[in-house]
Chain A
Amino acid sequence: MKSQVTEKKKGIFLLALEGDLDMSSSPQVRSALLPLFRESPSHIIVDLSRVPYIDSSGIATFVEGLQFSRKSNVRFTLAGATPTVESIFDLAYLKGVFEMVPDADRLLDGE
């Protein structure tokens, strides 16, 4: 799993992930995601366009991120989920819980 954090604009962080998000890689993603909430962000976007697979441990990482975002009043968005990944969120009844958008770049253009 590759991960890269970029501050695209002041307070707007993009976490780009590449690879399967499973039990072996989710601790690494958690370590990349949760510290961002200490950077006084206004918006955290996770780019999932290069994540072909996610399991329950990956989903748990994002649910934790969502909980942090609600506590700290930070917008939290999952962008570019592939159909496979989106169907897993759907199966977990979580598609309506997260803000999910098709494309991170388009979202950033509108910021």
Chain B
Amino acid sequence: MALDELKGPVVLDIPADPASMFIVRALVGTVSERIGFGREECGRLVLAVDEACTNVIRHAYKHRENERIILTFLINLDYFQVDIRDFGPAADPACFVSRELEDVRPGGLGIHFIKSAFDRTEYSVPEDGGMLLRLVKYRAKEETGQE
């Protein structure tokens, strides 16, 4: 039976280290499966959150050690939400664009993977610095067991 909702957010505070990404993938995979998303959708959600975190490591923190990424998961009847918070220098979200997919070259796929998986992607700059990426995936009624 699918999980309908959790009464509060789940917070994961991880080192900004590629080696910790397996923890994020395991959590997103398990949660999205329990929510009732299909196998392919779960795979896309895992990939998208992984890519968002590795973008933080690569671009916001430039692979600096001792930085943190805080992920906050919200599960309710209507949607699955993931907030990805970093504390690097703020950047202009207009610069976050995918490359043309016909142009086959290394790199530039992360944003495409993120936008393909989630229904909404919103960047904001919190008052205390860094960036916040909010990812929202809406749930179909049959996934929540609602009439």
**Could you mark each residue 78-111 of chain A with 1 if its beta carbon is under 8 Å from any beta carbon of chain B, else 0?**
0000001001100111100100000000000000
Q: Which B residues are within 8 Å of any A CB, using their own CB?
A: 18-19, 21-22, 25, 40, 43-44, 46-47, 50-51, 54, 57-58, 101-102, 104-110, 112-113, 116
B29 to chain A, nearest CB (A): 9
Most buried by B among A56, A63, A87: A56
Chain A hits for B105, CB < 8 A: 63, 67
The reply to whether B107 and A91 contact each other, CB–CB distance below 8 Å, is no
Q: Which A residues are within 8 Å of any B CB, using their own CB?
A: 20, 22-24, 53, 55-57, 59-61, 63-64, 66-67, 84, 87-88, 91-94, 97
Chain A hits for B40, CB < 8 A: 87
Partner of B106, one of A20, A60, A87: A60
CA distance A91 to B98 in the complex (A): 13
Main secondary structure of the interface of B (DSSP, over half): helix
Main secondary structure of the interface of A (DSSP, over half): helix
CA distance A64 to B110 in the complex (A): 16
B15 to chain A, nearest CB (A): 12
CA distance A37 to B19 in the complex (A): 29
Chain B hits for A59, CB < 8 A: 109
The reply to whether A53 and B25 contact each other, CB–CB distance below 8 Å, is yes
The reply to whether B18 and A88 contact each other, CB–CB distance below 8 Å, is no
Chain B hits for A53, CB < 8 A: 25, 46
Chain B hits for A93, CB < 8 A: 101-102
Chain A hits for B113, CB < 8 A: 56, 88, 91-92
| Other A-B pairs, 12, CB within 8 Å; known A23-B57, A24-B19, A56-B109 | A20-B25, A22-B54, A55-B47, A55-B54, A56-B54, A56-B113, A59-B109, A63-B105, A66-B104, A91-B113, A92-B101, A92-B112
Chain A hits for B109, CB < 8 A: 56, 59-60, 92
CA distance A84 to B40 in the complex (A): 8
Q: Knowing A55-B47, A55-B54, A87-B43 are in contact, say whether A60-B107 is a contact too (CB < 8 A).
A: yes
